[in-house]
Amino acid sequence: MKPTPAGWPRLSAALYYERAAQAIPWLCEAFGFEVQLRVDGENGSVVHSQLIYGEALVMVSEGGKDEQSQRFGIPLRSPKALGSANTQSVMIFVDDAEAHCARARQAGAKIVREPQVDDYGPEYWADKTYGALDLDGHLWWFVERVRG
């Protein structure tokens, strides 16, 4: 495989929020992201943004309930607009799952699974993982490797 462009991971994700302009600072406060790029559109909307957490890159923009919230003829929706349904979740490795969970909870994340260790046996690994929902109901998993 050829190397990726400088500063880009091999895989990145795009998430859609009803109010991305509110979600972006919250994601930074609750989960520790940093804004790398933000492109604002009309009426305070966010056309495109890039948030980073270490090597991870998540793109955040608007995805509402109306027909205007689409690109390439595909409707873009937040879980809020879909009755809280999620069609994917995001997993990010963190240094300290307990501390990260406390930070997320303090910022108002809904913790759906408290930090606990999942041990896949001596030939594999063990991770301390917690699950959280953000403002729009996207499911996030934060994982600390405790045995490699």
Per-residue pLDDT tens for 76-97?
Answer: 888 988 889 998 999 999 999 9
Q: Is residue 92 part of a domain?
A: yes
Q: Is the pLDDT of residue 11 over 70?
A: yes
Q: CB within 8 A of 57, min separation 6: which ones? A: 8, 9, 12, 13, 36, 50, 51
Q: Can you read off the two tokens belonging to residue 136?
A: 């729009």
Using left for φ > 0, alpha for ψ between -120 and 50, and beta otherwise, residue 103 falls in: alpha
Q: Is residue 6 part of a domain?
A: no
- Distance CA(72)–CA(49), nearest Å, equals 18
Q: Is residue 61 part of a domain?
A: yes
Task: Give the residue numbers spanning the domain of 136.
Answer: 13-147
pTM confidence score: 0.91
- Distance CA(132)–CA(101), nearest Å, equals 8
- Distance CA(78)–CA(83), nearest Å, equals 9
Q: What is the CATH number of the domain that holds 107?
A: 3.10.180.10
Average pLDDT over the chain, rounded to an integer: 92
pLDDT tens per residue across span 45-72: 899 999 999 999 999 998 866 555 566 7
Give the count of domains, the chain. Answer: 1
